[in-house]
């Protein structure tokens, strides 16, 4: 298996690092161990990101997909819900970890600070790939390149599968990205994008026991340039993943963590989205859905 040549600096996120506690094992029943760990990593470039490793063998862990806001404002129209920022969605569902998921579209735009934008809280929209949650199919792919799909099956096990034409009968949750970048431990033909962007992605170990959620910052000179799809795949190789899917990234990339000590929800990465040209504070972008981790 080819391994990435970059040197990673991995820093566990704890109470001494940003005030976020990643010790999900505290108070766990004997023998259960840690349900997840969260780490920051740095690579030459510079490239900075956050990795969450989720123990799918833990009885405390449940992986979900949720619409940001499932209130449908246009009935029979194209929208299936409304947009919201990931931290609000995480708080609503009590997710210990959440990351933005689907590429999305909306029929509505508005002008703000001289820009026409479609991503604002309360705007209606729809996922452009597979989305299955709440016991029903919410959307199916509108483009052929949106069939790389994470499927949570009825018994809780997870598969990452490319070119999904039909969801299996036991699907409990499903969400799509635009490229399967790693399969059977090797880079795929889809991992050919040469443009560096902020990235949100999900990976899975060969034995299906570890889920990897990755948020990589980008478009920020001096902090992080982002990565290509091939670089993303090699990062997953380094972390031990066997398969990986690129989710919606860019300004949408946000990973939310719940501090186990205080219950405060924190953005673990540094989003690329500026609030406005006049006040360039980096903020979460509203999205249409998230992958959420419940830890009991």
* DSSP-derived secondary structure letter, 289: E
Name the maximum alpha-carbon separation found in the chain: 57
Query: Tokens 């760990």 label which residue?
Result: 37
Q: What is the pLDDT along the chain (296 residues), one digit of tens a residue?
A: 344 444 455 666 642 233 233 333 322 332 335 899 999 999 999 999 999 999 999 999 999 999 999 999 999 999 999 999 999 999 999 999 999 999 999 999 998 878 888 989 999 999 999 999 999 999 999 999 999 999 999 999 999 999 999 999 999 999 999 999 999 999 999 998 889 999 999 999 999 999 999 999 999 999 999 999 999 999 999 999 999 999 999 999 999 999 989 999 999 999 997 766 666 778 899 999 999 999 99
Which of 238, 292, 230 shows the shortest CA–CA distance to 1?
A: 238
Assigned token pair, 155: 């018994």
> Which secondary structure element, helix H or strand E, spans residue 142, and what is its range?
none
CB atoms within 10 A of CB 192: 12
């Amino acid at each position: 298996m080819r391994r990435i040549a970059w040197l990673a600096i991995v820093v566990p996120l704890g109470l001494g690092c940003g005030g976020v506690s990643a010790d999900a094992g505290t108070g766990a029943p004997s023998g259960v161990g840690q349900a997840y760990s969260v780490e920051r990593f740095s690579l030459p470039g510079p490239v900075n990101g956050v990795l969450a490793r989720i123990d799918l063998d833990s009885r405390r862990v449940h992986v979900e997909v949720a619409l940001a806001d499932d209130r449908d404002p246009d009935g029979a129209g194209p929208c299936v819900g409304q947009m919201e920022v990931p931290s609000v969605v995480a708080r609503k569902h009590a997710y210990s970890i959440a990351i933005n998921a689907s590429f999305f579209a909306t029929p509505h735009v508005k002008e703000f600070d001289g820009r026409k934008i479609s991503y604002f809280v309360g705007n209606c929209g729809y996922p452009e790939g597979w989305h299955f949650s709440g016991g029903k199919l919410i959307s199916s792919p509108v483009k052929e390149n949106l069939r790389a799909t994470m499927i949570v099956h009825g018994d809780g096990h997870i598969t990452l599968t490319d070119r999904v034409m039909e969801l299996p009968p036991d699907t409990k949750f499903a969400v799509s990205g635009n490229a399967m970048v790693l399969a059977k431990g090797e880079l795929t033909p889809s991992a050919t994008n040469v443009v560096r962007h902020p990235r949100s992605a999900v990976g899975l170990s060969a034995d299906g026991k570890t889920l990897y959620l990755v948020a990589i910052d980008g478009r920020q000179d001096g902090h992080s340039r982002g990565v290509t799809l091939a670089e993303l795949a090699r990062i997953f190789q380094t972390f031990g993943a066997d398969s990986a899917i690129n989710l919606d990234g860019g300004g949408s990339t946000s990973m939310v963590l719940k501090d186990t000590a205080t219950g405060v929800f924190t953005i673990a990465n540094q989003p690329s989205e500026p609030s406005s040209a006049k006040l360039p504070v980096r903020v979460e972008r509203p999205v249409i859905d998230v992958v959420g981790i419940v830890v009991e």
